[in-house]
Amino acid sequence: MERLRADCERCAGLCCVALPFARSADFAVDKPAGKRCGNLTDENRCAIHARLRVSGFTGCSVFDCYGAGQRVTAREETVSGPQLFAVFRVTRQLHELLWLLTEAARGGRCPEAEASAAELDALIDGDVAALLAADVEAWRARVGPILERVSERARAGLDGRDLRRGDLTGKHLRKARLRGATLRGALLLAADLRGADLRQVDFLGADLRDADLRGADLSEALFLTQPQLNAAHGDSATRIPDTLARPGHWPDHDSPPSAPAPVRRAKAPRARGAGGRGGSGKGRRGRGR
Ligand code: SF4
């Protein structure tokens, strides 16, 4: 999974130029696609990286390019200008699917996922015109059933609840035993999941913004992504999959039981398809540069 991790040191700041974002709770300003963010330095570094959240750019702290930035930057000699940004926008979406397929294929548990990942890799590295013409939605539709089969196998025998696409916004699920459940496409905004058992829970496309994961066990969660984790709140007692990084805004200590719940946010639209909220913007995703 290493090559699917964002490496800003090897990227030309592509997400800060190529992607659009809209003024909202996640972004302090509007920015169209292709325009440099005003906070991007001449060295392609974020001038406010250490204070993104307090500066109104929470969306940037949540975003992750799944390694698309460094992969596309490496093509700079043959692709440039607006075309480079277009390549990044497509590659970023395909890299999210690559991440999910790579997780599905881990340990040789799904040759079908492995073959699809290899096909995606060839598309990304191949002819630029073919890459730009890629039908990302068709890829999502193709990847979804593969992930579903892997999820069913991984959760078999655990008798987990089917909560897919459920609206669990603000629900009190503290210490809930959800092992083996499917939360695909579920809305978990500001849900209280403190101390919950979330092992083998399928999180594909679930919205975890401001969900309280302090002390929860997600160590064997399925199809959980870095942006989902970045959007939630946790602490040092939160157990996460070894493929993901602990978000920088999480405290490095256990939270006292009486600690206040995280800030609540507005309800969002439902997720769709593999990867949930695909799209070529920066909204509701984030990055740490
Ligand atoms: S991380 Fe966000 S705020 Fe910082 S330069 Fe990039 S787009 Fe701008």
User: What number does the ligand 1 atom closest to the CA of 48 have?
Assistant: 4
Q: Two tokens at 274?
A: 């593999």
**pLDDT, tens digit, for every residue of 172-187?**
999 999 999 999 999 9
* pLDDT value of position 63: 96
Q: Sorting pLDDT into bands at 50, 70 and 90, what band is 95?
A: very high
What's the CA gap between 101 and 104, in Å, rounded?
Answer: 5
* Residue in 11, 29, 48 to alter for ligand 1 test, most ligand atoms within 8 A of Cβ: 48
Q: Residue 204: pLDDT above 90?
A: yes
Residue 281, pLDDT score: 76
Question: Measured between alpha carbons, how far is 145 from 184 in angstroms, rounded to an integer?
Answer: 12
* Cβ of 8 less than 6 Å from ligand 1: no
Dihedral pair phi/psi, residue 207, rounded to 5°: -95, 110
Answer yes or no: is pLDDT of 288 > 80.
no
User: pLDDT tens, 186-198?
Assistant: 999 999 999 999 9
Q: How far is the CA of 227 from the centre of ligand 1 (A)?
A: 15
The C-alpha angle 240, 245, 247, rounded to 5 degrees, equals: 95
- What does the CA dihedral 179, 109, 223, 216 come to, rounded to 10 degrees? 30
Distance 258 CA to ligand 1 centre (A): 34
pLDDT at position 253? 78
pLDDT at 166: 97
21 lines ligand 1 (CB under 6 A): no
Percent with pLDDT over 70 in the chain: 89
Span from the CA of 46 to the centroid of ligand 1 (angstroms): 5
Please work out whether the CB of residue 16 comes within 6 Å of at least one atom of ligand 1.
yes
Which atom, in ligand 1's list, is nearest to the CA of 59? 2
Q: Residue 2 has what pLDDT?
A: 87
User: Which secondary structure element, helix H or strand E, spans residue 149, and what is its range?
Assistant: helix 136-155
Could you tell me if the CB of 39 is within 6 A of ligand 1?
A: yes
Residue pLDDT, tens place only, 225-280: 999 999 999 999 999 999 999 999 999 877 766 666 655 454 444 444 565 544 66
Domain boundaries, the chain: 2-155
